Structure 1
């Protein structure tokens, strides 16, 4: 089937994919988060189906910019099942999201990718991303 918009019913498989990214507790709230994202016009939650099974997930956020003409698109979670890697699925979803961002008049696509995800960094560099070295956060909990 390929790329499609996620459905709430996909939450169990999405949970398994997030566990591969070291997010083991997401199952406690994931169904609610998916419902919220699916109802937000600035969010895209996509999955990739291979032989009727979800094997990848990507969440994409569109962020309007006040001082810049183009908006931003941000990938926040992207996982391809370890058994489905090296089949071009990641590249296909990333390119699809690039086109979605262009269609929404975004002038950049960004991703925060933890320093420990070295394989993911190689993927993003192959896709044309460049490093932007400063990323600051303030924990609120």
Structure 2
């Protein structure tokens, strides 16, 4: 069953994020992030729940365009537990994320995936996603630290 993630899912969400390559060491921080996502109408986190056993999760966030009508949905995270891969869990999770996005007025979906995740790339392509790596670049910058008063340190 696909359902929205809840703060009580923290332990299982942390396990899934660890499998994705993002070990979590502060359960309270994860709980706070889950609450924040639940309170933000532009975002959603869905989990695949098999009788209280979480098999995967997807996080999706909607961003309005300024240059075009409509919005774009970014798949922020998708992970399926090793024990549940190739059983349709990712397909169900992506379906929930895409349905949420369409309900929010999205006309495009976007996902970023590390180059070494070739199996994930095949999955996205099977869903109609097109690799734009040759057409566009992605630039990242770490934000400077902020002081308690909110000024840059």
| TM-score above 0.5, yes or no | yes
Select 1:136's aligned residue among 126, 135, 139: 139
Larger Rg: 1 or 2?
Answer: 2
Residue 14 of structure 2 corresponds to: 15
Residue 117 of structure 2 corresponds to: 117
User: Following the alignment from structure 1 to structure 2, what is the Cα–Cα distance between the partners of residues 112 and 18?
Assistant: 16
RMSD over equivalenced CA pairs, Å: 1.3
CA contact (8 A) 2:59 2:97 kept: no
In structure 1, stretches of 5+ residues that fail to align are none
Aligned positions, number: 140
In structure 2, stretches of 5+ residues that fail to align are 145-153
Residue correspondence of structure 1 range 1-141 to structure 2 within 5 A: 2-25=1-24, 27=26, 29-133=29-133, 134-140=137-143
CA contact (8 A) 1:73 1:106 kept: yes
User: TM-score with structure 2 length normalisation?
Assistant: 0.86
Please give the secondary structure, in 2, of the residue aligned with 1:130.
coil
CA gap 1:78/1:54 in 2 versus in 1, 3 angstroms = same
User: Following the alignment from structure 1 to structure 2, what is the Cα–Cα distance between the partners of residues 6 and 84?
Assistant: 18
